[in-house]
Homo-oligomer: A and B are copies of this chain.
Amino acid sequence: MERIPARRSVAVRVARGQRVEVVNTHGQQVVDTWAFATGDPAEWMSMEHSRVHMGRLSPRVGDSLVTNRRRAILTLVEDTSGGVHDTLLAACDRYRYQLLGATEPHDNCTDNLHAALAAEGIALAATPSPLNLFEHTALAADGALAIEPPVATPGSHVTLGAEMDALLVFSACPQDLVPTNGAGLTPTDAHYRLVR
């Protein structure tokens, strides 16, 4: 098992056909997830294109997420976490924490993404909206959204299958001002491993 350090990100290269297991080690940690086509990082996994493709808000086992060119890039092949994930909310960023009252610089998933990409020699002019694994966005009948603690249990996981060669970035979300990462407001490590 490889570590996704609390508040930090990792980049993982996968080949088509490989699978990655993402483990919610402590059970309340959201993992912001991005995927980019190898060789052309301007082709990325897109939540707005994936919702059209899936015909639903959020992936279920068997659903594929697609890129901004509508090609399958990842498939959710297994999910022991309760199946609650978010495709609606932007990655946290410096502006989010400023608006929440932070007066000091705060770790954030947007900077984590760009740091992980920079380490791979990639500069990206935009921040794609992430697949927020394990994030529990409660949706009321009138369309109101609320961020709730994850339903995932410790050690539960999702398995993502690569539909093309891709660069993945996982960020263990540093959110500690709202209950994205549980009522305890305490970001923790998560883990991943290449299954095959």
Give the B-binding residues of A (Cβ under 8 A). Answer: 42, 46-49, 51-52, 55-58, 68-71, 88-90, 93, 95-96, 99, 125-127, 129, 139, 141-146
In the complex where A70-B95, A95-B69 touch, is A145 in contact with B47 (Cβ < 8 A)?
Answer: no
Q: Is the CB of A58 within 8 A of B143?
A: yes
Q: Is the CB of A89 within 8 A of B126?
A: no
How many copies of this chain does the complex contain? 2
Whole-angstrom CA separation of A146 from B55 in the bound complex:
7
Q: Which of B51, B90, B99, B141 contacts A88 (CB 8 A)?
A: B51
Could you give 25 example pairs across A and B, Cβ below 8 Å? A46-B90, A47-B48, A48-B89, A48-B90, A48-B129, A51-B88, A51-B89, A52-B90, A52-B145, A55-B144, A55-B146, A56-B144, A56-B145, A57-B143, A68-B90, A68-B126, A69-B95, A70-B95, A70-B96, A71-B95, A125-B125, A125-B126, A126-B126, A129-B129, A141-B141
Q: Is the CB of B90 within 8 A of A56?
A: no
Q: Closest CB-CB distance, A108 to chain B, in whole Å? A: 12
Q: Closest CB-CB distance, A114 to chain B, in whole Å? A: 13
